[in-house]
Every structure is written in structure tokens, then in C-alpha cells.
Amino acid sequence: MSILVDSSVLLDIFTDDPVWAAWSEEQLATLDRNHQLFINDMVWAECSSAFNRIEDYSDVIARMGFSHRRIPKEALFLAAKAFVTYRRAGGTKTAPLPDFFIGAHAAVEGMTLLTRDPKRVRTHFPRLSLISPTVE
């Protein structure tokens, strides 16, 4: 099974989040044994904020063993459709949120999404397979 790792999980680890770092580290360690772990462009960009130098960030990502996968056009299209639905439902953001790009990518490529924050993804991609800390 291919797993797309959400920014929330990596940022928990990179920032040593006192509530979520242990859960995120445990999930990655468990999943890394039997699954291929991916990040995409959006996750790469969001998580880079935790580093001062691109070289340091690139080294950490390489040591963690993630494969990088570009977001396909079909997922970009689906993310835009999810954003339109969000706006019609009263959403106030004026540009598509990272969650839309990440969720759409996992959905289009049939990956499971590892996320600590499943609410928006569940709302807009209800059939997407998720690994998250809560059952909603």
C-alpha cells in the first residue's frame, strides 16, 4: 500500500509537538516497515517552513526515506472542484487550501493518507482511505 504523508504529521515531528510528535513518529515507524511512504509538492513546501536551509531539509527528507511524487493534473482539477464545493458551503478562504491538493492527490492515485487532521479531507474526499488518530 502506498501512503501519502500529510504535512501535519511531519510538522509534529519537526517541531517536536508536545501532544502529537510521539503519535506521528509511531505511525511513520510502523508504516515504514511494510509500505512505501510519499510526500508531494504541497507537503514538501508546507514542511520546509520548519527549516532555515533547503540543504538541511532535503537531507532530513532523504534520511526519512520518503519518495517524492508530483501532483498529477487530475488531482489539481479535483482539488479545484473540492474548493468550489467548500466555497459554496460557506467557506471563507479565497484560494484552495493545501488540504484540497493533498487529499485530491491521494484520492486520484489510490493512496491512503496519513494525517493528524482528517476533518476537511473527510468532508471533501469521503471515500479516501485515512489513517488518523481519531475516529469520526
Q: Does residue 136 lie within any of the structural domains?
A: no
Residue 135 has pLDDT above 80, yes or no: no
CA 21 to the chain's CA centroid: 15
- 45: containing domain: 2-131
- 5-9, 10-14, 30-34: range with lowest mean pLDDT: 30-34
pLDDT recorded at residue 119: 87
> Of all residues in the chain, what percent carry a pLDDT higher than 70?
99
Residue 117 forms part of a structural domain: yes
Residue 25 lies inside a defined structural domain of this protein: yes
Asked, for residue 33, whether it belongs to a domain, the answer is yes
In the predicted model, is pLDDT for residue 136 greater than 80? no
pTM over 0.85, yes/no: yes
Domain assignment present for residue 58? The answer is yes
How many separate domains does the chain show?
Answer: 1
CATH number at residue 88: 3.40.50.1010
C-alpha to C-alpha distance for 3 and 18, rounded to whole angstroms: 24
Extract the C-alpha cell encoding 118: 482528517
User: What is the structure's pLDDT at 37?
Assistant: 97
Q: Does 13 fall in a domain?
A: yes
What single string gives the DSSP state of each residue in 18-36?
Answer: TTTHHHHHHHHHHHHTTSE
